[in-house]
Every structure is written in C-alpha cells, then in structure tokens.
Amino acid sequence: MSKHTNIKNFDKSKRYKKSKRRAHSRHIKAVLCLCCCVMLIAAAFRFFKYESPSPPNDTEESTWSLILVNKWNYIPDNYKVKLTELKNGEAVDERIYHALQKMFNDARKDHIYPVVASGYRTAEKQQELMDEKIAAYESEGYSSDEAKSKAEAWVAIPGTSEHQLGLSVDINADGIRSTGDDVYEWLHENSYKYGFIYRYPKNKTDITGVINEPWHYRYVGTEAAAKIHEQDICLEEYLELQNGI
C-alpha cells in the first residue's frame, strides 16, 4: 500500500470520527432541548392549574360547602382554605372560583355588571372592620357596650364570619353600567343556578342573627341552593330539615 493511500485512509478515519462526534453532540443537544421543553410544559401546567382550579367534585361538595358559621357557630380550629385571587385583588376559595366566574359571565350577557367588593378575609381583617364599626358608633355618642352591640348587628365577630371561609362574597355593581338594585335583583333570581344563596334575607334575621344584606352571597352547591331558593328558607333552616331536627 502506498503512502498516499495511507494518508487518504487516515483522512477518512478522521472525518468519520469528527462526524461521529458531531452526531453525538447533536443527540445530547436534542435530549437537553427535550428536557427543557418538558420542564416548561410542567411549569405552565402548574401555573394554569393554580389560576384556574378544577370545578369541585359534587360527591364531596357537601362536606365543605354546607359548613354552618354564624354568631353561635364558630369556624373550626382546623379549617384551612386554598385561595384563588381574582383580577381585582380579592380572593375566594379555589373550589367556588368556576361557579362564581360563570355566574358573573352570564350576568354580563344579561347586561348586568357585578363586582366582588369583598371576598376572603383574615381574622385580623375582620377584627379591624369590627373595631372601625364600634368606633363609628362611639363617635355618635353610644356607650362602649351599646356601640359593640350595634356593631355586631352589622359586622360578624372574628371567627364567625363566612368571609373567613372563603365561600362568601359581597357583590356590588360596577357603578357605571349597572346599579346596585339591578345587580341584587339579578342575583336574587339567578344565583341559585350557580350554587349561591342570598345568605341574609330581611325576613330571616331572627334565625341568621344578621340584618338584611342583599349583597352577601354564599356558595352552598347547586342542589342545596335550588332547594333553599324554592322553599324561601335560609341556610340554618335548610340544615335543620336535612338533619331532621
């Protein structure tokens, strides 16, 4: 074999090795790229799962949606809530998010424009509201005891507010395209279809312990909401009927 032939064979071997290294490098890059894509997809999935939580499972719904909280029944010490933040900064229990969103979307289709004025509240926030109300009555000349008593008719004692559950919202009008009366009327007629109830009717104050609040709506699930609406009863009465009391 000639010297020239040896050089040619050496060049071919060299080119083969380079080609093999390039192929190996491309393979590694492809694997790394695939791993990055998988990680990005997983991250996006987690993000959207948090922003748009799945609707609640109807078979498990009654275990949490019908919890009774009022001036005689405090929130359980072990109660925990997972929140979803709304566009305006308010937050609700993630399990009622879809129902609330659908209710608002359908209201807008009827040219009614509601807004969530207040959603979830911490115990600290609830206490702050109570202190402000008491101070307002004291400034009108009421004694401390009188101011506290009158304030409790408007503001729930911390630990007894449905807002701390994350299942209740105060709903007002946007003030531009709808009035408060427009919104309250639409909600009174339609909210039960989405699992919400007019929680504190004016004719049930002696049972609920709260004055009429046409803006306060509570999620109880569609089945319970339909029965409460049809029978014109409050949550306390519904639970008594369910428990056979």
Catalytic residue numbers, as ranges: 213
Other CB atoms within a 10 A radius of the CB of residue 5 amount to: 9
Residue whose entry in the numeric block shows the structure tokens 């503001």? 155
For residue 227, give the amino acid letter: K
Instruction: Give the Cα separation of 117 and 174 in Å (integer).
Output: 10
**Strands 83-85 vs 91-93: parallel, antiparallel or unpaired:** antiparallel
For 215, how many CA atoms within 13 A lie in the half-sphere containing its CB? 16
Q: Give me the torsion for CA of 45, 48, 52, 54, rounded to 10°.
A: 0
φ and ψ of 70, to 5 deg: -155, -170
